[in-house]
Amino acid sequence: MSNNLTAVKHGLSAQDRQAHYGHGGAVLWMTGLSASGKSSLAMALEQALTTRGYSCYVLDGDNLRRGLNANLGFSPEDRSENIRRVGEVAALFADAGLLCISAFISPYREDRARARQACRQAFHEIHIAADLQACEARDPKGLYRKARAGELQEFTGISAPYEAPLAPELTLETARESLETSLEKLVAYTVANIPLSRNHL
Amino acid sequence: MSNNLTAVKHGLSAQDRQAHYGHGGAVLWMTGLSASGKSSLAMALEQALTTRGYSCYVLDGDNLRRGLNANLGFSPEDRSENIRRVGEVAALFADAGLLCISAFISPYREDRARARQACRQAFHEIHIAADLQACEARDPKGLYRKARAGELQEFTGISAPYEAPLAPELTLETARESLETSLEKLVAYTVANIPLSRNHL
């Protein structure tokens, strides 16, 4: 399909970009049940890291489903394509040199494995591990209630599976610890694992 | 389709991002025939602007067709979806605060109008206006030769139309002027039209 594509070398190397931003590009991929705290943590992390000088961007249902993925529904195929596109866009942001934080349920191991492959060594899987009971008790949008009532089909945790990560880079027990504690762990993980440039940040 | 999406406010405002990067997010959308100089100019511009302190990223066939758009072919529908996705990804980069430079033939006015809509006021259409004769004489990849021989179908300029922009923000006559001259005009356009933060860059 790409017979007539000629590889055009980007003028900037990953090293150039790291020197420019002060840190390497990376993807912090948050996965977990609805209401586990992914979006809140993603937003809080973006804010905390930006304050520390990092260049970040959050991908979530809000900015993806309304634009790039607006032509996808909620069938199994479309959900899978949704996550595939998120993985590819996250890979572009990491290639650009940014710290991309994605916040999607992304319930299937196979879909997450494909996102990891797209992002290569830049990918960091973070399990937002609040259990179903805790998430259902929170239910800030009333979605679990609707799912139990049969008004929502294929709802993760109720009528569709959630395949927990087997070897995530980080696990946050957001049912048992505060958002502040989880945030501290995320910031510490980032500082320890994302390469920094000398004389910067 | 997005009944159960709750708008999550991004923690950072456009103003926060502008203060962080030193300039506003924007999309420099290059359109023109194959071999008109889009990719070379995009790469050179990324390099030149990065040297001046801007944060940039180039979207082109190389990084899009191999990843996000790898499941698209070259049918009219797939070409249109290809450009739609480029426009939406460019909008995300501009939203993130970066200067996104896109380099695609994007021959149809309707497709470019949709990209402009996705990117809103951040969109700057740049016509790389080398004419067919000049592009065909260059033909660095031998594509025009193949298209004339009937080996490539629906080739823009030969067997498919190119709809030139009616009111582009900038036109570069890359058949008549050197890459250096075009590059100088692009840098000058960017400096004059992309908002800068005070005390930065």
Coil, strand, or helix at residue A40?
A: helix
Q: Mean pLDDT over all residues of chain B?
A: 92
Its CATH architecture, for the domain A19-193, is: 3-Layer(aba) Sandwich (3.40)
pLDDT tens profile B137-176: 999 999 999 999 999 989 999 999 999 999 999 999 999 9
Class of domain B15-130+162-192: alpha beta
Q: How far is B163 from chain A (nearest CA, A)?
A: 22
DSSP type of residue B23: B
| pLDDT value for B62 | 84
A85 vs A198, more confident: A85
pLDDT tens profile A89-120: 999 999 999 999 999 999 999 999 999 999 99
Cβ-Cβ pairs closer than 8 A, A with B, add up to 123
Percentage of residues of chain B with pLDDT beyond 90: 87
The closest CB to that of B68, out of A12, A85, A141, belongs to A85
Interchain CB distance below 8 Å, B46 and A11: yes
Q: What's the CA gap between B14 and B36, in Å, rounded? A: 34
> And the tokens for B116?
């402009």
Q: What's the CA gap between B24 and B195, in Å, rounded? A: 5
Rounded to two decimals, the ipTM of the complex is 0.93
Q: Does A192 touch chain B (CB under 8 A)?
A: no
Q: What is the 3-state secondary structure (H, E, C) of chain B?
A: CCCCCCCCCCCCCHHHHHHHHCECCEEEEEECCCCCCHHHHHHHHHHHHHHCCCCEEEEEHHHHHCCCCCCCCCCHHHHHHHHHHHHHHHHHHHHHCCEEEEECCCCCHHHHHHHHHHHHHHEEEEEECCCHHHHHHHCCCCHHHHHHCCCCCCCECCCECCCCCCCCCEEECCCCCCHHHHHHHHHHHHHHHCCECCCCC
Band of residue B74 on the pLDDT scale cut at 50, 70, 90? confident
Q: Does B147 touch chain A (CB under 8 A)?
A: no
- φ, ψ for residue B27 (rounded to 5)? -120, 120
| pLDDT value for A201 | 57
| Cβ under 8 Å to B: A residues 38-97 | 39, 43-44, 46-47, 50, 55, 57-63, 65-68, 70-71, 73-74, 81, 84-85, 88-89, 91-93, 95-97
Contact present, A164 and A35 (Cβ < 8 Å): no
Q: Does B145 touch chain A (CB under 8 A)?
A: no
Match 């896109």 to its residue by tokens: B102
> And the tokens for A106?
């992304």
Question: How many angstroms separate the Cα of B126 from the Cα of each of A27, B42, B169, B172, B179?
Answer: 31, 11, 6, 7, 15
| Cβ under 8 Å to A: B residues 153-182 | none
pLDDT tens profile B104-130: 999 999 999 999 999 999 999 999 999
| pLDDT value for A101 | 98
Mean predicted confidence (pLDDT) in A31-40:
96
Residue in chain A nearest B59 by alpha carbon: A92
Interchain CB distance below 8 Å, B68 and A5: no
Q: Which residues of B touch A98 (CB under 8 A)?
A: 96, 98
Active site residues of B: 106
| pLDDT value for A4 | 42
pLDDT tens profile B21-41: 999 999 999 999 999 999 999
Q: Does A16 touch chain B (CB under 8 A)?
A: yes
Domain chopping of chain A, boundaries: 19-193
Helix axes A179-193, A38-51, angle to 10 degrees: 50
**Predicted confidence (pLDDT) at residue B6 exceeds the cutoff of 80:** no
| pLDDT value for B3 | 38
Q: What's the CA gap between A72 and B15, in Å, rounded? A: 31
**Predicted confidence (pLDDT) at residue A35 exceeds the cutoff of 90:** yes
Percentage of residues of chain A with pLDDT beyond 90: 87
Q: Which residues of A touch B63 (CB under 8 A)?
A: 10, 92, 95
Q: How far is B194 from chain A (nearest CA, A)?
A: 19
Q: Which residues of B touch A92 (CB under 8 A)?
A: 57, 59, 63, 67-68, 89
Q: Does B105 touch chain A (CB under 8 A)?
A: no
Mean predicted confidence (pLDDT) in B53-65:
93
**Predicted confidence (pLDDT) at residue A148 exceeds the cutoff of 60:** yes
pLDDT tens profile A43-72: 999 999 999 999 999 999 889 989 999 999
The amino acid occupying position B198 is: R
Band of residue B8 on the pLDDT scale cut at 50, 70, 90? very low
Q: Mean pLDDT over all residues of chain A?
A: 92
**Predicted confidence (pLDDT) at residue B191 exceeds the cutoff of 60:** yes
pTM assigned to the model: 0.93
Q: How far is A167 from chain B (nearest CA, A)?
A: 25
A193 vs A153, more confident: A193
Interchain CB distance below 8 Å, B7 and A62: yes
| pLDDT value for B2 | 37
The burial class, CB within 10 Å (0-12 / 13-18 / 19+), for A76 is exposed
